[in-house]
Amino acid sequence: MESEQLFHRGYYRNSYNSITSASSDEELLDGAGVIMDFQTSEDDNLLDGDASIGTHYTMTNGGSINSSTHLLDLLDEPIPGVGTYDDFHTIDWVREKCKDRERHRRINSKKKESAWEMTKSLYDAWSGWLVVTLTGLASGALAGLIDIAADWMTDLKEGICLSAFWFNHEQCCWGSNETTFEERDKCPQWKTWAELIIGQAEGPGSYIMNYIMYIFWALSFAFLAVSLVKVFAPYACGSGIPEIKTILSGFIIRGYLGKWTLMIKTITLVLAVASGLSLGKEGPLVHVACCCGNIFSYLFPKYSTNEAKKREVLSAASAAGVSVAFGAPIGGVLFSLEEVSYYFPLKTLWRSFFAALVAAFVLRSINPFGNSRLVLFYVEYHTPWYLFELLPFILLGVFGGLWGAFFIRANIAWCRRRKSTKFGKYPVLEVIIVAAITAVIAFPNPYTRLNTSELIKELFTDCGPLESSSLCDYRNDMNASKIVDDIPDRPAGTGVYSAIWQLCLALIFKIIMTVFTFGIKVPSGLFIPSMAIGAIAGRIVGIAVEQLAYYHHDWFIFKEWCEVGADCITPGLYAMVGAAACLGGVTRMTVSLVVIVFELTGGLEYIVPLMAAVMTSKWVGDAFGREGIYEAHIRLNGYPFLDAKEEFTHTTLAADVMRPRRSDPPLAVLTQDNMTVEDIENLINETSYNGFPVIMSKESQRLVGFALRRDLTIAIESARKKQEGIVGSSRVCFAQHTPSLPAESPRPLKLRSILDMSPFTVTDHTPMEIVVDIFRKLGLRQCLVTHNGRLLGIITKKDILRHMAQTANQDPASIMFN
Amino acid sequence: GAAGLSGAGAGGGAERSGANSEDVRCKCICPPYKDHSGHIYNKNVSQKDCDCLHVVEPMPVPGPDVEAYCLRCECKYEERSSVTIKVTIIIYLSILGLLLLYMVYLTLVEPILKRRLFGHSQLIQSDEDIGDHQPFANAHDVLARSRSRANVLNKVEYAQQRWKLQVQEQRKSVFDRHVVLS
């Protein structure tokens, strides 16, 4: 794979109005970030008087220094805009990697010249670490802001702290001495809205007033969130992880990781969480972190001009995002490796870990929760589990897998309906209706009125003597003289039974509402609602097993481990395992999920139950459909994502997939030196192909190279403007030596510099398995097909995706992008 | 309290030398014991003094029972940074307020102003006019007009119009054609 002249040049960005239209996000770089490095490797005809000032001439391509004798050839200047990509197109990984290697070589070769060059090379080597550090700092800071603001706004639905309005409920009552054991939340500084508006704190009137105010605040937060998204940054809605997966595999979505999207996503995420909707903030935090990574990478030319290197920074940034969301740096790196990234070179592993650690450290020093923990539901257990408990854990895994399969099907069906019918025309109305239904049903049930994170924490926490919630209303033996940690299994009191009823209702409510909430036009994540559903199911199962063990302690399975008076079952552990199972069932994560959950809880001794549950849920879920929720959304949107986990096992050949087919018009090609500028312009205008192969002549059909549509358009336009004598009938020459032309013909246009001289080719009898493998491993966009050495056709990534969809009996017309 | 000392913004949590004295506490939770009900004790002591004997005052049980009572209690040392919380909330609310004002300006005030300045004929509605309003409908023509001039104010306006076009494109992709992010 040799890097040709195409890669010897830099290019600078400019608002080149006809090409880089308003869909570019390069305002950051207008006039800044200029890399001008004129090098030529051939045809260095120095003879023309209007050569550009200040250019260097280096023969870097070894031989062929024999210049042509054509005196009027201008030096090849780099044409601005060549090498950039259109919106909604795929990058060329091979080209980007070659560009980067070339840049590196150039810097290294100049290193010994002067101290300044040495500093530049050191700066270049260290800029990777600098970007990653800045990204980690920014992600940690933003996550702290989001956590503190979301906590405060969530409590704003219920009341306000009169002495200091910026405190939420817990912080308001922090220093107060009026809290009692049973009612740990009451203090005189915190006033509910009913108290403020009608003056009563108890009674049906105040309940109704609180209800009304709750609904009012929930609706206003939701309305604000969706209006901000709609007016300022429409890309800020949704989770972000499917789009980031696609971007990391090489797709370009301009503006998706821009500064407005970052700001709006941060602000509206707080509003969306505060409005009580059934969503979480983990997926959007990954998007926020990737936005930070993208923005900082623009400060360094090494990353801003090279799309492949930028994606390394984005991989590290997504690790930082998960790290601050869960307080799990290692889990974040594994999540980035397993779920988000496409190409993950090993040096990115170390940098991702560093970013995750920096982000976690910054979040910890902001200390949003006042207890030096990163996540609200960090619980530490040390109670052992027993072998017979594997049975309920596997049952929880089955539940997780079933729920995951159901959720994916239901959510995709609902999103498809929203996409294609009239439901999707009223996004603001949809958000308001969903928020209203959620608020109306959630308020009466104390478990759904709670913030979802606090619900999870309450479910994960085991019942010790210090708990006084109704979930822990066991019948205690008051005369027992046991100390704190070792409470034996007790029979449940009435509080526990009523709590179980409420939890069942909460479970059904959450299962239904999350289907409609994931995908609405506000930032919405999926992790917390899935974990909540799993935690509720797990806790119910745990209490059931606990009561079973208490009342039937003489059964065979319990006899060995659960004697009377022993602390046998920990329902909180079941909640944890259930949460992991449900999350695994819907996202189909494996290693990263187990690591995240045990980093969350600090319990290495629970790896076996977690793994059992996660594996079971993955197998059960895979029995219904191989895709996780993110792959399903990618397929719904038709992104050109070639999944590395799918295998292609059909026996078709390249000749069956390539274009043109038998009934199609012949392949649109360019010849090496026979075409005029006008011919090329007509070809570009009449067809919509992204690139054209260049052949020697129509008779021989021997391949020379491949030219991209965007590069051709830019080069021809720039030539028409800047070079003299280029008219419609000028010959376009892709060869090294221009052909001899009659004297009165206009100047030829040399476009060899934009030609890719090393396109990938396969023969028509290559099996498609190998072709798909090549595309996946090298990140190609297109591949030419030859037969006996002659050009026959072309296979693009879109063709491959359509073919895979066809062989899997899905709709091939759903692949939308190139 | 001594609000200014513990450092504003993101860095404030770790060092506690000048911290607000209201921001640390030792919290002891004591469950019901014999016929005494459960109680929560808060006191402002340092970390080494954070245990049952220093914090639980007045001790509800007589001398010989103190040890049994204290064994059941759980004491935790907690600290927070109220300055960080205050600064964060105020920053957040101000950004939210500014965005709200800008949104009101863009959607309500600007079309009225433009209509008054340029007359009805210049306001070309964009292609689709579905349900909700399109705030940036006139971005195209403003963009075309201002391209010729080159002073600072027009550069700002040019940048703003370009941004509006971008947002309009994004809005079309997401909300109207449902191409991305559905």
Give the tokens for residue B74: 């759980």
Look at residue A146 in the predicted model and tell me its pLDDT: 94
pLDDT, mean over chain A: 83
pLDDT of residue B10: 39
- Are A228 and B103 inside 8 Å of each other by CB? yes
In order of A40, A725, B149, the CA distances from A731 in angstroms are 22, 11, 38
Burial class (CB in 10 A: 0-12, 13-18, 19+), A139: buried
Residue B145: the pLDDT is 59
Residues for chain A: how many in total?
818
pLDDT at A8: 34
What pLDDT score was predicted for residue A230?
A: 92
> Contact A415/B182, CB-based, under 8 Å?
yes
Residues 6 or more apart whose Cβ sits within 8 Å of residue A811: A805
For residues A763, A767, A771, A772, the Cα torsion angle rounded to the nearest 10 degrees is: 160
Residues near A41 by Cβ (< 8 Å), separated by ≥ 6?
A5, A8, A58, A59, A60, A61
Phi then psi for residue A309, to 5 deg, are -65, -35
Which two three-digit tokens encode residue A576? 């944890």
Structure tokens at A544: 């059931």
Nearest CB among B31, B85, B103 relative to A231 is that of: B103
Question: Residue A13 has what pLDDT?
Answer: 34
Is residue A71 less than 8 Å (CB to CB) from chain B? Answer: no
Q: What is the DSSP letter of A276?
A: T
Q: How far is CA A583 from the centre of its chain?
A: 17
What burial class does residue A56 get, using C-beta atoms within 10 Å of its C-beta: 0-12 exposed, 13-18 middle, 19+ buried? exposed
Share of chain B above pLDDT 70, in %: 71
The per-residue pLDDT for A144 is: 92
Question: For residue A493, what are its two tokens?
Answer: 């009191």
Task: Read off the pLDDT band of A514 (50, 70, 90).
Answer: very high
Q: Tens digits of per-residue pLDDT, A122-141?
A: 888 899 999 999 999 999 99
Kindly report the nearest CA distance between residue A608 and chain B, in angstroms: 30
Q: Which two tokens stand for residue A517?
A: 């909430």
Nearest to B107 among A181, A231, A367 (CB): A231
Nearest-angstrom CA–CA distance, A641 and A253: 13
Tell me the chain B residues in contact with residue A362 when contact means C-beta distances shorter than 8 Å. Answer: 10
For residue A792, which phi and psi values (nearest 5 degrees)? -115, -45
How far does A231 lie from chain B, in Å, by closest CA?
Answer: 7
As beta bridge partners, residue A523 has A238
- Cβ within 8 Å of residue A550, ≥6 positions away: A489, A490, A491
Distances (CA, A) of B146 to B36, B120, B137, B153, B161: 79, 19, 16, 10, 9
- Contact of B3 with chain A, judged by CB distance below 8 Å, is answered with no
pLDDT in tens, A17-73: 333 333 334 333 333 323 222 333 333 333 333 333 333 333 333 333 333 333 333
B14, B165, B181 member nearest A365 (Cβ): B14
Q: Is A367–B37 a contact, with Cβ atoms under 8 angstroms apart? A: no
Q: How far apart are CA A760 and CA A705, in angstroms?
A: 9
Contact (CB<8Å) A182/B166: no
What is chain A's Cα-based Rg?
31
Q: What is the pLDDT of residues A240-251, one digit of tens each?
A: 999 999 999 999
Q: Give me the DSSP letters along A134-193.
A: HHHHHHHHHHHHHHHHHHHHHHHTTEEESS-TT--HHHHTSS-S---SS-TT--TTEEEH
Whether A438 shows a pLDDT value over 50: the answer reads yes
Output the pLDDT for position A44.
Answer: 35
Query: Which residue is closest to B23 within chain A, CA to CA?
Result: A175
C-beta separation of A749 from A725 below 8 A: no
Cβ of residue A145 closer than 8 Å to a chain B Cβ: yes
Mean pLDDT of A313-317: 95
Q: For A363-419, how does the pLDDT look when each residue is reduced to its tens digit (9 = 90+)?
A: 988 876 666 666 667 666 678 888 889 999 999 999 999 999 999 999 999 999 988
Between B146 and A476, residue with greater pLDDT: A476
Nearest CA distance, A18 vs chain B (angstrom): 13
Residue A664 pLDDT > 70, yes or no?
Answer: yes
- CATH assignment of A387-476+485-633? 1.10.3080.10
Task: Quickly list H helices, A5-92.
Answer: none
Q: What is the pLDDT of residues B21-46, one digit of tens each?
A: 677 888 888 887 777 778 888 888 88
Does the fold of domain A387-476+485-633 match that of domain A133-366?
yes
- Which DSSP symbol is given to A487? P
Predicted local distance difference test score (pLDDT) of residue A701: 87
Domain A654-808 is in which class?
Answer: alpha beta
Q: How buried is A185 (Cβ within 10 angstroms: 0-12 exposed, 13-18 middle, 19+ buried)?
A: exposed
Residue A85, pLDDT score: 87
Backbone angles phi, psi at A311, to 5 degrees: -70, -25
- Residues from chain B contacting residue A270 (CB–CB below 8 Å): 92
**Is the Cβ pair A468, B79 closer than 8 Å?**
no
Given this model, what pLDDT does residue B17 score?
40
Q: Cα–Cα distance between A41 and A61 in angstroms, integer?
A: 5
What is the pLDDT averaged over residues A464-492?
Answer: 66
Q: Where are the domains of chain A?
A: 133-366, 387-476+485-633, 654-808
In angstroms, rounded to a whole number, what is the distance separating the alpha carbons of residues B145 and A337?
A: 49
Beta-strand runs (E) in A709-809: 732-733, 749-750, 761-763, 782-787, 790-796
ipTM of the complex: 0.84
Within an 8 Å CB–CB cutoff, is residue A20 touching chain B? no
Task: Give residue B123's pLDDT band: very low, low, confident or very high (50, 70, 90).
Answer: very low
Are A389 and A397 a contacting pair, CB within 8 Å? no
CB-based contact A193:A210 (threshold 8 Å): yes
Distance from CA of A815 to the nearest CA of B (A): 11
Q: Report which listed range, A5-9, A66-70, A354-358, is most confident.
A: A354-358
| C-beta atoms surrounding A389 within 10 Å | 23
The angle that helices A571-587 and A390-420 make with each other, rounded to 10 degrees, is 40
End-to-end CA distance of chain B: 50
From CA A785, how far away is CA A549, in angstroms rounded? Answer: 68
Distance CA B4, CA B12 (A): 11
Confidence label for B147 from pLDDT (cuts 50, 70 and 90): low
In the CATH scheme, what is the code of domain A133-366? 1.10.3080.10
